[in-house]
């Protein structure tokens, strides 16, 4: 009797903590959406009245290309990998289109850029899937190779400097119906394909399987090299598409345009609940993670800090949010 009486209070406290934790674990979207809401409210407090349709448009326009890069990370992280070459591939793709558009026209330029990306992805996939190179090393190496090749190309093409083609610029930076950026026309179908693909296709399931337990996947008859080669090709193609949007968004042609988006793309996936060890997560969480990072970044800008301070704060916040989030949700 006395024993039960003494354990009473501590047990209640424990129960509530456990209840919260299991809620977060089973519905990881809830704390994420709550955090996003808080950030929106804070944005509105910092600069009263700023949150409105126009603000939403600005946020979405910035978020879409990052969300596509974060899709690359989500998919590769599900298999326990990562794709650090997305920045270089995206920049390269944007640059190739801009430098070729005058001579061969936009559609052909896009095709060439996609083929270049495909080759990079194929090599990544073969390295990771067939030769078992660690994805970190493989894709980091690949990003150097791609950067070097793009630089070489830059020197070869005498500064044609045609500027970003108008179609790409519209896609990357214009909005329709007041708030909706044109980039959503690209993003929404892609997002649907990724979301449905992960849940309802055999290939999507295999990504999780290979990431969760490669031995089990093998014993069940999966050949993981096939899965991985296709995966890194998909990732590179997505990166190229993101590259087109970034070029249009910034209206700049540069071979290192997207480099600074690589860390946020990884962070968005981690914050969105995708495990870097593989086997757990999804694109829905990643999208919310991207929105969170986008709002944080704009919040820091609106606070008027200099660029250097903003970078420090942004990096620190990414680490803090990721750490807090994994702590809350990663209970076994």
Query: Residues in the site for other proteins, rule: CB under 8 A?
Result: 1-4, 7, 11, 14-15, 18, 22, 26, 200-203, 205-206, 208-209, 212-213, 215-223, 226, 275, 279-280, 332
Shortest distance in whole angstroms from residue 130 CB to other proteins = 13
Closest by alpha carbon to 332, among 275, 266, 288, 287? 275
**Min CB(131)–other proteins separation in Å:** 17
In whole angstroms, the minimum distance from the beta carbon of 71 to other proteins comes to 18
Closest distance of CB 199 from other proteins, Å: 9
- Shortest Cβ distance from residue 223 to other proteins (Å)? 6
- Asked if 164 and 253 count as a contact pair (C-beta separation under 8 A), the reply is yes
Q: Is 172 exposed, middle or buried (0-12, 13-18, 19+ CB in 10 A)?
A: buried
CB 283 within 8 A of CB 198: yes
Residue 77 or 291: the one with the smaller Cβ distance to other proteins is: 77
Give the burial class of 214: count Cβ atoms within 10 A of its Cβ; 0-12 exposed, 13-18 middle, 19 or more buried: middle
* Contact between 291 and 63 (Cβ < 8 Å): yes
Contact in structure between 281 and 269 (CB atoms under 8 Å) = yes
Choice between 156 and 332, CB closer to other proteins: 332
Identify which of residues 209 and 258 has a Cβ nearer to other proteins in the complex.
209
Shortest reach from residue 190's CB to other proteins, in Å: 17
Cβ nearer to other proteins, comparing 94 with 281: 281
Q: How far is the CB of 112 from other proteins (least distance, A)?
A: 28
Give the whole-angstrom CA distance, residue 95 versus residue 165. 11
How far is the C-alpha of 147 from the C-alpha of 332, rounded, in Å?
42
Residue 222: CB partners within 8 Å, gap ≥ 6? 206, 209, 210
Assess contact for 256 and 147: CB atoms under 8 A.
Answer: yes
**Cβ at position 239, least distance to other proteins in Å:** 22
Nearer to other proteins, 226 or 254 (CB): 226
Residue 111, CA distances (Å) to 162, 197, 228, 232, 237 in order? 18, 24, 23, 18, 11
Whichever of 9 and 49 has its CB closer to other proteins, that residue is: 9
Which of 94, 129 has the CB closer to other proteins? 129
Q: Please, what's the b/e burial string for 67-79 (b: 16 or more CB within 10 A of its CB; e: otherwise)?
A: bbbbbbbbbbbbb
**Residue nearer to other proteins on the CB measure, 6 or 162:** 6
Integer CA distances (angstroms), 149 to 35, 117, 139, 152, 233, in order? 41, 12, 15, 5, 18
């Amino acid at each position: 009797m006395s024993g039960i009486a003494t354990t009473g209070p501590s047990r209640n406290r424990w129960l509530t903590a456990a209840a919260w934790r299991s809620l977060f674990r089973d519905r990881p979207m809830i704390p994420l959406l709550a955090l996003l809401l808080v950030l929106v409210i804070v944005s509105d407090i910092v600069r009263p009245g700023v949150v409105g349709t126009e603000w939403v448009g600005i946020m979405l326009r910035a978020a879409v290309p990052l969300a596509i890069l974060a899709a690359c990370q989500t998919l590769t992280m599900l298999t326990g990998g990562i794709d650090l070459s997305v920045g270089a591939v995206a920049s390269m793709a944007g640059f190739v289109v801009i430098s070729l558009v005058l001579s061969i026209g936009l559609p052909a330029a896009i095709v060439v850029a996609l083929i270049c990306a495909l080759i990079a992805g194929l090599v990544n996939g073969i390295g990771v899937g067939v030769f078992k190179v660690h994805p970190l090393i493989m894709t980091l190496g690949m990003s150097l190779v791609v950067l070097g090749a793009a630089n070489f190309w830059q020197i070869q093409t005498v500064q044609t400097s045609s500027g970003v083609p108008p179609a790409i610029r519209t896609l990357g930076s214009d909005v329709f119906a007041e708030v909706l950026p044109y980039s959503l026309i690209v993003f929404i179908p892609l997002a649907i394909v990724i979301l449905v693909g992960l849940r309802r296709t055999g290939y999507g399931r295999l990504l999780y399987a290979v990431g969760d337990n490669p031995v089990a996947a093998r014993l069940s008859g999966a050949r993981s090299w096939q899965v991985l080669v296709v995966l890194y090709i998909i990732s590179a193609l997505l990166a190229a598409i993101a590259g087109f949007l970034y070029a249009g968004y910034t209206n700049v042609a540069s071979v290192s345009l997207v480099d600074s988006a690589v860390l946020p793309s990884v962070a968005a996936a981690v914050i969105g609940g995708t495990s870097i060890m593989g086997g757990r997560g999804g694109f829905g969480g990643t999208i919310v993670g991207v929105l969170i990072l986008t709002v944080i970044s704009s919040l820091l800008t609106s606070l008027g800090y200099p660029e250097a301070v903003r970078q420090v704060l942004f990096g620190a916040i990414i680490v803090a949010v990721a750490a807090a989030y994994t702590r809350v949700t990663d209970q076994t």
